Chains A and B, each alone.
Chain A
């Protein structure tokens, strides 16, 4: 496998339910990012992990959102008490270890499309 994978690809849920998404980064990549993308917009940064440490979290991220990367490999993003405004594509990306400023390439997964009814 050479790419970032995400599961599920699509999720339909009712308002108020909890959902969890999984991301498996490229195996050598120790940096992992979660983004949210809505129609007509660019990806919006949510949170960042380096190995198992969550180093950054967007101020826009509600307390209903939580992310983990317990062993520094796969990551999960959980949304509690979903709202209709949470409907979006949730993208995961990974990057190799930081060596120089020119190696910030992010490799995106196919995304999980969430629809909250």
Chain B
């Protein structure tokens, strides 16, 4: 079945270090979305990428969508303690109604001050 995989599962960094999480899909995606979930919180939408090779930036966060539209990455420059949380990628559920998503297991980021 359709799978969305993320690596690493956990990442521990010192504040100020960079962080990258990778997302790979077993199927070509029409778009990919990224969500952040703080400890004890709920997923919050960060961004959606639609075009092959697309790169978008949000302050210290850089998101990329692969040329084949099967992978994506999120890079955080100079992490801060406020970046702590789990980052999920999600893509359209194959065969599902538009808008239904399949999520990866997430990358849990911890930042040591």
Chain A residues within 8 Å of B, Cβ to Cβ: 31, 33, 40-45, 48, 50, 55-56, 91, 93, 95, 98, 101-102, 104-111
> Once bound together, how far apart are the Cα atoms of A99 and B4, in whole Å?
26
Assess whether A48 is in contact with B103, with CB atoms less than 8 Å apart: no
Interface secondary structure of B, over-half rule: loop
Residue of B nearest to A49 (CB): B97
Residue of B nearest to A3 (CB): B42
Which residues of B have CB within 8 Å of A107? 45
Chain B residues within 8 Å of A, Cβ to Cβ: 4, 30-31, 33, 35, 41-45, 48, 50, 88, 90, 92-93, 96-106
Known: A91-B42, A101-B31. A106 touches B104 (CB 8 A): no
Q: How far is the CB of B31 from chain A (nearest CB, A)?
A: 6
Which residues of B have CB within 8 Å of A91? 42-43
Assess whether B103 is in contact with A42, with CB atoms less than 8 Å apart: yes
Among A31, A105, A108, contact of B48 (Cβ-Cβ < 8 Å) = A105
Assess whether A31 is in contact with B105, with CB atoms less than 8 Å apart: no
Can you list 22 residue pairs at the A/B interface with Cβ under 8 Å?
A31-B99, A41-B105, A42-B4, A42-B104, A42-B105, A42-B106, A45-B100, A45-B102, A48-B99, A48-B100, A50-B97, A56-B97, A95-B99, A98-B99, A101-B50, A102-B50, A104-B31, A104-B92, A105-B33, A105-B45, A108-B35, A108-B44
Assess whether A43 is in contact with B103, with CB atoms less than 8 Å apart: yes
Assess whether A111 is in contact with B42, with CB atoms less than 8 Å apart: yes
The 10 A-B pairs at the shortest CB distance, nearest first, are namely A42-B103, A108-B42, A105-B45, A108-B43, A56-B97, A104-B99, A42-B88, A55-B97, A43-B103, A42-B105
Assess whether A106 is in contact with B99, with CB atoms less than 8 Å apart: yes
Residue of A nearest to B45 (CB): A105
Which residues of B have CB within 8 Å of A40? 105
Which residues of A have CB within 8 Å of B4? 42
